[in-house]
Amino acid sequence: MERRFRQVDVFGQGPCTGNPVAVVLDAEGLDDEALRRFSVWTNLSECTFVLPPSEPGADYRVRIFSLSTELPFAGHPTLGTARAWLDAGGTPATPGVVVQECAAGLVPVRVDGDRLAFAAPPRLRSGPVAPETVEALVEILGIGPEQVLDAEWLDNGPGWVGLLLDGAGTVLDLRPDASAHPGRWDIGVIGAHDPGAETAFELRAFFTEGDEPLREDPVTGSLNAAAAEWLIATGRARAPYVAAQGTAMGRRGRIQLSSEDGRLWVGGRAEVLLSGTAALP
């Protein structure tokens, strides 16, 4: 069966500079194994499947996969799915706001031309990180413990553990290796740029899929959302600000963090680069 398909570049500053997400529209009738198989086949950090909503007030329902692992929420797939749905002719019930239903609940997405922004969901886990976990992370990242300024759980769906390092330069120089610490890892690293720089912080996100080698996600909305909550709450950042991610991979991700009506909004560009159909059962 031919199903509508889009591949969307999210958080970039031009085509192929952000993070791609594969979006299958009209995903009714696909079983879990088909969803996982297609997601793994795309070999992207995330793939989403759009379904009719089941909650009042939602414009659509989405299932989000990171390769074979289903996630309750993820940031760049949220913006990419909203853009794909709009591009395919979707019309939100409330003009200018798409309401996405996912396993984490209803997530509003504001539409402003080529820029979209989602309201950051609450964290599922926060607070300090156990010293033994920090020690393992230091070994994985190949840095000294003195280069870690702080650590915090940044889990808002993807189970990010966040490390604040001693600067953007340290973040960009990382060459992590998790071979001595097998298992599931979702590691977010943050470093401040010098005052007056184009962006306030540099972020990188590393994750594993089972026992496979560590991978890097180019630009990560969920990590930036949780990191912003932490940085703002601890007085290390003030909204609005712009963060950079993907630099070490040759990307030019730019994530806009702002606060309005007591909510944190995470935004950036979302551009459809591939449009067509996917042959799925």
- Confirm whether 2 is a catalytic residue: no
Cβ atoms of residues 176 and 142 within 8 Å: yes
Angle between helices 221-233 and 75-87 (to 10 degrees): 130
CA distances to 29, 125, 127, 161, 193 from 230, in Å: 40, 12, 9, 12, 17
**Residue 62 is encoded by which pair of tokens?**
């989405």
Residue given tokens 């009714």 in the structure block: 28
Q: Which residue of the set 46, 101, 152, 202 is catalytic?
A: 46
Question: Cis ω on the peptide bond leading into residue 20 (within 30° of 0)?
Answer: no
In sequence order, the 6+-apart residues with CB closer than 8 A to the CB of 116 are 79, 82, 83, 98, 109, 110, 267, 268, 269, 270
Q: Which residues contact 237 (CB under 8 A, 6 or more apart)?
A: 200, 201, 228, 231, 257
The residues that bridge with 51 in the sheet, in sequence order, are 61
Active-site annotation, residues: 46
